[in-house]
Amino acid sequence: MEGTILVVNCGSSSLKVALFDAQLKKLSSGLAERLGKEDAFATVKGHPAQIELDALADHQQALSALVTVFRDDGLLDDAPAAVGHRVVHGGETFREAALINDDVLAAIKDCASLAPLHNPVNLAGIEATRALFPDIPQVAVFDTAFHQTLPEKAYLYALPSHLYNDWGVRRYGFHGTSHQFMANEAARILGKTPATTSIISAHLGNGCSITAIRDGNSADTSMGLTPLEGLVMGTRSGDVDPGLFDFLANQGVAPHEVHRLLNNESGLLGLSGQTNDMRTLCELADHGHEPSQTAIEVFCFRLARYVGAMMASLNHLDALVFTGGIGENSSLVRKKTLAHLSLFGFTIDDELNHHHGSISDGRIEGAESRFRVLVIPTNEELVIAREALASARPGMAG
């Protein structure tokens, strides 16, 4: 098939790919897992059997195997027309997607100190794809880019200014492709242009963030220098008192242990002592498991507090939008969160909420609600494919 766009998203031991046609219709997707381990394997949507990978297969071997399946399925000619890569951190260098060349690669490498767990693996994905398709345009799409419109008052921490000047310590924000997609979709649903639409976008997945989008631009967001700040997440704590670091140090907890504690052992998992998975937590809570009930309460209260905080950046609000695995699927989380926000005039329609907005073009607010409330499925891959098409072939974006 001609003019296809390949989207590549690399994790430390995983590789996700999606293939779109020239009209940006998704043709297929695949996932390689446990890369670098003995039992590495891959799956492709619609293929019941796993794709064999060599033991210790790396990103390049996985990509090559997945591309071979797309070719065998007749979905891909020799090579795609362009490749879009998810890159987590673009620092202050990248305000938009960038066509990859040696300078862009060097700049992504420069941002690695800000995202040591993410940017190096994103670069591995780019290198693997360049090796496989040396003559094809490759485009980097940054999680941080959408938030480069944050005003100084929103991105500066109240720290000595040399931390920002010397090391770039500031709020960057993440999940930018998802929040940008929400802004555009909400505008479409509301019959407005993105440039006149103001929303609060809550991306609630395993990672969670919330963004105030004022007239189409990110104006404030909950994630900061790293994707640890802000909301309660699956295994991440979100906001804690910075005094905690000193306190833990005095208890003899080493910095790398603090990192693990806050990133991998906290959030819903830490509070419940059971799981980071909201669906399982809701089942446990239903059966009377008190720590799971507590975890859900803390999650929803923190989220509601942040909705209130995001109001400070807006001069009007067209809609509060829920997305991500939790935001799209948990009527309980949406209901509990909105219950904290009645003073602002939010109400919810239980029937529409129960159907996750699917019977009402996303709408779940009550008839008397002061503000619209929408449930919109996110589609970060589509944003990356669209950006890849636009950057690789100016004037031909679908």
Q: Which residues are catalytic?
A: 143
CB 321 within 8 A of CB 202: yes
- Which residues inside 281-300 make contact with ligand AMP, applying CB under 6 A? 282
Contact region with ligand AMP (CB under 6 A), list: 87-95, 256-264, 297-305, 326-334 = 326-334
Q: According to the binding rule CB under 6 A, does residue 279 interact with ligand AMP?
A: yes
| DSSP states along 38-102 | TT-EEEETT--SPEE--TT--HHHHHHHHHHHHHHTTS--SS-SEEEEEES--TTT-SS-EE--H
Q: According to the binding rule CB under 6 A, does residue 119 interact with ligand AMP?
A: no
Measure the CA–CA gap between 37 and 40, rounded to whole angstroms: 6
The DSSP element (H or E) to which 108 belongs, if any, is helix 102-110
> Which of 194, 325, 366, 377 forms a contact with ligand AMP (CB under 6 A)?
325
How many residues line the site for ligand AMP (CB under 6 A)? 12
Q: According to the binding rule CB under 6 A, does residue 329 interact with ligand AMP?
A: yes
Measured from the CB of residue 208, what is the shortest distance to ligand AMP in angstroms? 9
> Which of 30, 234, 238, 267 forms a contact with ligand AMP (CB under 6 A)?
234
Distance spanning both ends of the chain, measured CA to CA: 17
Contact region with ligand AMP (CB under 6 A), list: 164-172, 278-286, 292-300, 302-310 = 278-286
Q: According to the binding rule CB under 6 A, does residue 278 interact with ligand AMP?
A: yes
CA-closest candidate to residue 141, choices 190, 183, 191, 178: 178
Contact region with ligand AMP (CB under 6 A), list: 94-102, 294-302, 321-329, 339-347 = 321-329
Smaller CB distance to ligand AMP: residue 216 or 234? 234
Measured from the CB of residue 375, what is the shortest distance to ligand AMP in angstroms? 12
Give how far Cα 65 sits from Cα of 19, 55, 270, 371, 383, Å.
14, 13, 38, 48, 25
Measured from the CB of residue 373, what is the shortest distance to ligand AMP in angstroms? 17
| DSSP states along 300-343 | HHHHHHHHHHHHTT-S--SEEEEEHHHHHH-HHHHHHHHHTTGG
Q: According to the binding rule CB under 6 A, does residue 369 interact with ligand AMP?
A: no
Measure the CA–CA gap between 15 and 44, rounded to whole angstroms: 12
Left (φ > 0), alpha (ψ -120 to 50) or beta: where does 284 sit?
alpha
CB 150 within 8 A of CB 220: yes
The amino acid at residue 272 is S
> Which of 21, 73, 239, 277 forms a contact with ligand AMP (CB under 6 A)?
277
Smaller CB distance to ligand AMP: residue 112 or 298? 298
Measure the CA–CA gap between 333 and 115, rounded to whole angstroms: 30
Smaller CB distance to ligand AMP: residue 171 or 236? 236
Pairing, β 51-52 against β 82-87: unpaired
CA-closest candidate to residue 103, choices 94, 115, 95: 94
Measured from the CB of residue 326, what is the shortest distance to ligand AMP in angstroms? 4
Beta-carbon contacts of 274 under 8 Å, excluding residues fewer than 6 positions away, are 280, 281, 284, 289, 291, 292
Give how far Cα 362 sits from Cα of 184, 223, 310, 320, 322, Å.
14, 25, 21, 11, 9
> Which of 186, 326, 374, 384 forms a contact with ligand AMP (CB under 6 A)?
326
Smaller CB distance to ligand AMP: residue 137 or 234? 234
Measure the CA–CA gap between 8 and 25, rounded to whole angstroms: 16
- Which residues inside 3-42 make contact with ligand AMP, applying CB under 6 A? none
CB 9 within 8 A of CB 15: yes
> Which of 330, 337, 369, 391 forms a contact with ligand AMP (CB under 6 A)?
330
Q: According to the binding rule CB under 6 A, does residue 80 interact with ligand AMP?
A: no
Q: According to the binding rule CB under 6 A, does residue 270 interact with ligand AMP?
A: no
Measured from the CB of residue 278, what is the shortest distance to ligand AMP in angstroms? 4
**Tokens representing 101?**
């060349």
Per-residue contact flags (x/-) with ligand AMP for residues 178 to 217, judged by CB under 6 A: ---------------------------xx-----------
Contact region with ligand AMP (CB under 6 A), list: 132-140, 253-261, 275-283, 381-389 = 275-283
Smaller CB distance to ligand AMP: residue 245 or 301? 301
Instruction: Name the residue with the smallest CB distance to ligand AMP.
Output: 325
- Enumerate binding residues for ligand AMP (CB under 6 A): 205-206, 234, 277-279, 282, 324-326, 329-330
